[in-house]
Every structure is written in C-alpha cells, then in structure tokens.
Amino acid sequence: MNHVTVIGTGITKFGTMADKSLKQLLLEASFEALKEAGFPTVDAVFIGNFMSGPLANQEILGSLIAHDLGLGPIPTAKMEGACASGGIAFRHACEMIEAGVYNTVLVAGGEKMKQADTNVVTSAINAAMDTDSNEKMAGLSFPGFFGLVANRYFYETEASKKHLAMVALKNREYAVQNSIAQYRDPVALEEILAARMITEPLGLFDCSPITDGAAAVILSRGQSGIRVIASSQASGPTQAQEVEDLLTIGAIKKSAELAYEQAGLGPDDIDVIELHDCFSMTEILAYEALGLAARSEGWKLLENGDTKHGGKIPVNTSGGLLSRGHPIGATGIAQIYQVVQQLRGTACNQVDGARIGLAQNLGGTGSYSTVHIFSNGR
Amino acid sequence: MNHVTVIGTGITKFGTMADKSLKQLLLEASFEALKEAGFPTVDAVFIGNFMSGPLANQEILGSLIAHDLGLGPIPTAKMEGACASGGIAFRHACEMIEAGVYNTVLVAGGEKMKQADTNVVTSAINAAMDTDSNEKMAGLSFPGFFGLVANRYFYETEASKKHLAMVALKNREYAVQNSIAQYRDPVALEEILAARMITEPLGLFDCSPITDGAAAVILSRGQSGIRVIASSQASGPTQAQEVEDLLTIGAIKKSAELAYEQAGLGPDDIDVIELHDCFSMTEILAYEALGLAARSEGWKLLENGDTKHGGKIPVNTSGGLLSRGHPIGATGIAQIYQVVQQLRGTACNQVDGARIGLAQNLGGTGSYSTVHIFSNGR
C-alpha cells in the first residue's frame, strides 16, 4: 500500500452522551476531521457501526452524514463486522483509494449504547454470535467466552488474575491522561483484583464498558500525511466450539501476518500499538497473535513492563477499550486516531520518536480482525 | 469497467420461509451460485442486509457465510444502505475486482422479514429514515412518502391511479411466470383498482410486500461470463422536506448518468431493465430518472405498453419488488440475478435477443441508488 495517507482526524468525548444522537456524534467527529484536513472535496463516505438499528431505529448512516455535511450526492455505505466495523470501513476506504477509485474518503465510526437498558445492549451485542448455534442459545455471552478462554489460559500457563489486572491497570493509567476517555479515575491493582465478578475470572475492570462516542478520519491519495503502509483483514470461526486452539485468535494472527508481509516489517519494527482489549484477556492473546510474544507467553510481557512506556512497545496508550471506552462501531477508528496522533507526535501518552504504529481491531469472538500499519515517513 | 464478470448466480424462493433462518437462506443462494461457478476459490464475501439485527438478533453475516461454506479466513463484511444494501455490496465487489484487489467475490443479499409482527417490521423499515428529523417523528412512513409523491404527480400530470395499477398489473403478469416469485396468482386491473387503500392513492397492489428470501452471485476478474460494463452509486436527501423536486429522485438520476457515461451507452441501448418498484409510483419515477421518459411523462410509457414485451424496453420481467417480493437486502442481488438470466437467454419472461441489461436499486426515500449495466458480449 503506497498511496494512502491520513490527512484529518476527529473524535468525540467517550462516555455517556445523553444529549447527543448518534448522528450528532458522527457529525461532530467528521466535522473535526474535515476541518483538520482543510475541508477537501470528499468522494465517498464509509461508516462503521454495529447496533444503531436495534438501539436507535437508525440505519442509512452513510447518506445521513454525507447529506448533513453537504458533501453532495456521493457514494456512501455502512459497513458491519461486529466490533471490527470501524476497521473494516477504514480498510475498504484504503483499498478504494489505493486502487484509484476515490481520491478522498471520510471514514467515521460511531455507536450510542448508553441510552438503552443494559440487558437490551447485552442482547444486541450477542448479534455478533451465530443465532442458529446451540452455544448462543445455551446462553454463551462475550464475557462468558473470554472468561472460558481465560480459564484455559490459566490452566495451560502460569498466568493468573494478577496479569489480567495488570492489563487493566496499565490501560487505566493511560486513560487518566486521555481527555476523551470514559474512565479517568486512577485505580490501584488491589481495587481491580477486588472488583465484583462479571464472569469468572473476569472482574469489572477486565471487561470493556458500554459507551457512546464517535471517531473519524479523512483518507487521501498521495497527499502528505501519516501513511497507511499495510491494510489487512481476516476472518475466523463464529463459534467457540469450532475454534481449533482456544488460546490462538486465528483471525488476528492471519491479519497480522498479512499486514507485516505487506509492510515488509515485523513486530520488532513497531513503535506503538493500539489493539483490541475488549477484555483484559483479549489483550494478552493479541500480544501473542501479533507476534509480540510466543503462544501462551504474552502474560510475561506484563511482568517485564514490555508493553508500557519504558518497555519495548507501548500498547493501548489511549487507555484502550477497557478505559477509553468501547463504542463498538467507533472503536476501530478511535484506535487509528490514537496511532495517528502518536506518529504526529501529538498524542496523549506520547511515545518519544514513534515512527511506525499498528492498529488491530477484532469483531465477534474471532470472526473478524483488521490490522493497519502506519508510518510518519521519518 | 472492463474486467468484471458474473460467473455464478443463485436465488431462493421468495415469500414466507418459516422453516429457514436468514443464514440458511443466504447459504442456499450462495451454494447455488458457487456450484454454477464450479466452486472457485473465493477471495472475499460481501453481504447485503438491512434488518437482521433488530429482527433476528443476527449480525456478522459475512463471517457466518464464509465460515459455514468453508471458504477460509477471508475478508468479509456486511454492507448497509437500506433497500440498496444489495446493490451497494455488489458495487463494492465490482470495484475491488476491477482494481485487482480480489479475483473472485461472493456477493449475497438476504432478508427474513415474515417472522416478525408487521408493526415490528414497519418500524424496522423506518430505520431508513432520519430518526432526528421531525418528519419521521411526525409519523411519515415509506408508503406515506411515496403516496405524497403520487399525489403531487397526479397534480402535475394527467396520470391517475389507473397508471399505477398498470405498473402493478404488468409486474404481476411477469411474476406469474417466475417460479421463485412471492405472488403468482393472476389479477385483473379492476381488482388492483378496487383493493384496500394503504396510503392514498396507493392501494395494496401498489406497495411491495414483506418477504423472506436471498440471492447470490459470484463475480470474477477476467473469466468468461456476463460482463459488468458499468457500476455506479449516488446518494440524495434523507428527508422529504429537503427534496428539491418531489417528482425527481436525484440519486437515481445521478447514478444513471454516471453508469451511462461509464458504459458509453444511453437508455436506448438497453434491452431489459430491473428497477426498484418498491411502490408502483416509484417505477414511473424511475422510468424518468433512468432517461426512458422525460420528467412527468413516465406514465405515458404504460399507455403505450413500452415497458413490457413487444414494447421498447421490458421492465421488471422478474415481477419486480411488487410481485416477485422485496426481501430488502436481497433485492439488489435478485434484480441482478434476473438481468443475468436475461442476458444468458435463460430467464423467465425471456426478452428475445437481449444483449444489454440494467439493474437499478434504490435505498430510503432517495438516499441511495446504484445502477449496474451488463453485457453478454454479443
């Protein structure tokens, strides 16, 4: 991928945005991104969103945003791939620009989840499982799935709840410094370990929250900006019972391999990463699938402090899904927002001299993963 | 567009499919298309769907279909653009193949609407309007919008309910011959005119029904098959109050102009058309927007029999949305299915010697339109 650059970024506050509709959130982030890019002529709009149909009786987000921003009768679409909807929308824009179909594309992701009852939201999230499967019908949920995986991880390794808590602590410490993050109050390791249980062994701080928010980027062909040097996507089994190895998220692994190959780089070349920590357990599995550690050894990175400032590769300097928040359709774009700020040198929790950044976005229990690698050309 | 061909097609029965889930319908159509194409290696799967979230608590259709068909860890996504979701998914596949990103793509569209209460379905359909707008909050619905347009049409022209009925009659006569159509019983013009009112002046036969069904196509790069010679998309206002001219659906007009330019053809070169007759009124407006007639003169084509066999360009030989049925996400692909059969010479209601065909798919009240033009190379 040689021609695609990010020339504008925008993001809203993440949290409870009671007085703003999803459309308003998307417009706010999109306007900020357009302004930063100098209000270019936009050729297409792609939206990442997962649950605005059931929660807000609102689809057609693509044409709503294009029309309300006065962008003209341009092509638009919403892309859905569960929690990877944002990454997928971004990837489609990259491919279309690289191919020369469009010169400039607005990609926005957003979700408004806080207006509905938690049970309604939880049920809507379960649309990212196979409704025809016995495991969904038997009551398996996302915390249930990743709890199950964590138990298996503890069985096969020397990792424990303490390592999960170390992920949650690291990401909260980063979120404290991120002005748009949902949870910015400092917490202590003991508080995380003592928090109420959601699904054994995942406590409250091990699970990403329900969040409102939106993020947007403007992608361009050939203009100066942060370069997209790899864009990949892979899929995987949609049911736990079909996963070959519970400790390997195949879609992440495959999408990472494709992206590294495309960029001609390996994990050692990356300076900063945003990855999909929907649960603290998922961050550790993503370390392994992204090649930062061997299978079943990701937990050791936490013991060494490898994935925070001063370590090898700071991960989730935004605060991650766990503390910045997880407005589902926005997440993939919010990750890219943070990586772009890092490569511009304007991020919260700036990594000094960061040159190459990676964003990884997961959908379902492993149904989708996108990986994007960025360079500031230095 | 020079490289894209359709090498496989599949479609399910349209109607009430009580014993099949949406996934099963999509798998059935996809399998038929793959079989027809000789089970090629598939590089990506795009799904057109609008309301499986609210109606079936089922998203992640892309990875479900890819995984259940054993296609490997390939990229997949669902595309949403209201009733144009199928056309949009198809267009993305065309662009990706033309650009050389993929060689072979499965595009499937589907919707399962009959399992829910009509009020629930009607409400879910209204997600294709702007939830923040006063007109949606005031109760404007899709039959309401197109009824309003029909009243204006009658005011500005000499057209009457009889012309709407002639659309419904023509399409029903075609559906009688289509083995997968939802409504195959012959009706008389008088019966259509006397049917119960839905929204003045639109009676029961003027409105497309609620339908279950799926359709699929395999697109390929460079293989022999029906060629895609133009693929375009445009958007338009999302609210009635913002439409400049109620009798012109700008998105259709714009997408048609782009497609004709791309193909180097005009409306006179087309032998057969499938267009988006979500209401009988919409078919007449689409005649005009596609350039088959001037503004406010589309109704005259019906008086002359121009849009049926023996006339200039037979339209909706499948029975159209009105009688073949309108499973929302499937519609754009089902239209393409019929055009491809026409160009192969294997269609129901075959148009003798058809060489060039066009498919036009509308989303919202005019928020999205796609136009695809096909050639059999003869």
The CATH code of the domain that includes A77 is 3.40.47.10
CA distances (Å), A131 to each of A171, A328, B60, B350, B374, in order?
33, 19, 10, 39, 36
Residue A73 included in any domain: yes
Beta bridge partners of A363: A368
Among partner residues A57, A80, A129, which is closest to B123 by beta-carbon distance? Answer: A57
Query: How many percent of chain B have pLDDT more than 90?
Result: 97
Q: Compute the nearest-CA separation of B310 from chain A (Å).
A: 36
pLDDT tens, position by position, B78-113: 999 999 999 999 999 999 999 999 999 999 999 999
Residue A11 included in any domain: yes
Q: Is the peptide bond before A201 cis (omega within 30 degrees of 0)?
A: yes
Q: Compute the nearest-CA separation of B322 from chain A (Å).
A: 23
Q: Does B54 touch chain A (CB under 8 A)?
A: yes
Tell whether the model's pLDDT for residue B292 goes beyond 90: yes
> Please, which residues 311-330 of chain A have a Cβ atom closer than 8 Å to chain B?
none
d(CA B87, CA B80): 10
Residue B130 included in any domain: yes
> Please, which residues 86-105 of chain A have a Cβ atom closer than 8 Å to chain B?
88, 91-92, 95-96, 98-101
Q: Compute the nearest-CA separation of B377 from chain A (Å).
A: 25
Q: Does A362 touch chain B (CB under 8 A)?
A: no
Is B322 in contact with B211 (CB distance < 8 Å)?
Answer: no
Q: What's the domain count of chain B?
A: 1
By the 10 Å C-beta count (0-12 exposed, 13-18 middle, 19+ buried), B33 is classed as: buried
Tell whether the model's pLDDT for residue B378 goes beyond 90: no
d(CA A137, CA A129): 10
Q: Do B77 and A76 touch (CB under 8 A)?
A: no
Instruction: Please name which of A234, A323, A213, A227 lies closest in space to residue A274, comparing C-alpha atoms.
Output: A323
- Which of B63, B102, B129 to mutate against chain A (most A CBs within 10 Å)? B63
What phi and psi, each to the nearest 5 degrees, are found at residue B37?
A: -85, 0
The pLDDT assigned to A378 comes to: 86
Residues across chain A: 378
Among B92, B326, B348, B372, the active-site one is: B326
Rounded average pLDDT over B185-189: 98
Residue A300 included in any domain: no
The pLDDT assigned to B277 comes to: 98
Residues in chain B with CB shorter than 8 Å from the CB of A96 are: 95, 99
d(CA B358, CA B256): 10
Residues in chain B with CB shorter than 8 Å from the CB of A50 are: 53, 59
d(CA B280, CA B302): 11
pLDDT tens, position by position, B210-256: 999 999 999 999 899 999 999 999 999 999 889 999 999 999 999 99
Residues in chain B with CB shorter than 8 Å from the CB of A52 are: 127
The structure tokens listed for A94 are: 């990259």
Residue B330 included in any domain: yes
User: Which residues of chain A are modeled with pLDDT < 70?
Assistant: none
d(CA A260, CA A230): 7
Residue B171 included in any domain: yes
Task: Specify whether B83 is catalytic.
Answer: yes
- Which of A17, A24, A80 to mutate against chain B (most B CBs within 10 Å)? A80
pLDDT tens, position by position, B104-160: 999 999 999 999 999 999 999 999 999 998 898 899 999 999 999 999 999 999 999
Q: What is the ipTM of this complex?
A: 0.96
Residue A83 included in any domain: yes
Domain enclosing residue A28, as ranges: 4-117+211-221
The structure tokens listed for B98 are: 């033309």
Active-site residues of A, by number, are 83, 326
d(CA A356, CA A377): 8
Residue B378 included in any domain: no
Instruction: Please name which of A188, A183, A142 lies closest in space to residue A166, comparing C-alpha atoms.
Output: A188
Q: Do A127 and B59 touch (CB under 8 A)?
A: yes
Q: Compute the nearest-CA separation of A165 from chain B (Å).
A: 30
Q: Do A57 and B233 touch (CB under 8 A)?
A: no
Determine the residue of chain A that is closest to B21 in CA distance.
Answer: A132
